[in-house]
Amino acid sequence: MSKKTPTRQKFAWLLAIGTFVGFLIVIAAVYLMEPEPPSAVVLAKEEPERKQVDITSAATGDHSSRAQTVEAVDSDKVSAPAGRDAVGEGSTESKDDFQVLQEWRVWAAEDPDAALTAARRLPDGPGRNEIFGAICFGLETVKPREAATLAVALHLQNQPGAIVESLVQQWSETDAAAALEWASGLPADDHRSLYLARIAFIQSQRDPVSAANLVIGQVPPGAIQDEAVMTVLHQWGTRDLPAAAKWAATFPTGPLRDRAQSELAGMAEIAAARAP
């Protein structure tokens, strides 16, 4: 009897150890079967796709060590510097397009090279073209000739919004002679005619005779010239109706002359109604 006791004790110990090990296995299995909480990487994949470009200004002065962050949800949406003082501060998602483009204008006026470099790194698309336009408008406030030249180099004349035409018109308001010199040196095409028409519009408010000579002498016959003539005629008529009528009388017989006479007749009626 005493010889069998050690054997029973060993068996009891082995049974206890086996039971304990089995318990640990069950606990481990339950733990491993629990769903793993989503990690930051998984959550990031579930967020809308976002492209991000880090930009460091190479300019001197206050911008020498300033880093910019440009965020774009996609290439169709306008994007702008998220923070002007540090990388990643701020977000463009809460800003409307006007506010975003205004930031680019201000940046371009301060540092056009840095702004243009940043914009070139954005995905191609309508949004980037709008930003190019904003940069040109910002540059126009300090260097109008460079702004117009840059806009043409960026092919913005082929984009909607009449960007180059508007730049030339704004330039004409401060220096029509310089704007005319620049436009006259461009290849003779419809774009050039449109720029000359904008210059003539500004000139007609100050010197209608020069504006009339411009649209007749430098804008080729066609729809663009017809509209430019009517614009100059209207501006001239508001200043000196008899002189405008005398100019219109020199037009060849045809639709443009008829249209001009009708415009002048309407202006004469308005003037008569306003007379005391």
SS3 labels along 215-273: HHHCCCCCHHHHHHHHHHHHHHHHHCHHHHHHHHCCCCCCHHHHHHHHHHHHHHHHHHH
C-alpha of 162 from chain center: 13
Q: What is the DSSP letter of 53?
A: E
Q: What is the pLDDT of residue 11?
A: 53
Measured distance CA(60)–CA(80) in Å, rounded: 21
Q: What is the pLDDT of residue 8?
A: 58
- Residue 239, CA distances (Å) to 175, 198, 205, 256, 262 in order: 22, 19, 8, 21, 17
CB 99 within 8 A of CB 48: no
Q: What is the DSSP letter of 125?
A: S
Q: CA torsion sign, 130 to 126 to 70 to 111? A: negative
- How many other CB atoms are there within 10 angstroms of residue 272's CB atom? 8
pLDDT digits (tens, 9 = 90+) for 206-242: 999 999 999 999 999 999 999 999 999 999 999 999 9
pLDDT digits (tens, 9 = 90+) for 240-257: 999 999 999 999 999 999
For the whole model, what pTM was predicted?
A: 0.67
Name the token pair of 11: 């068996």
Residues in the chain with pLDDT values less than 50:
1-4, 30, 34-80, 83-94
Q: What is the pLDDT of residue 19?
A: 62
Query: By three-state DSSP, how is residue 70 classified?
Result: strand
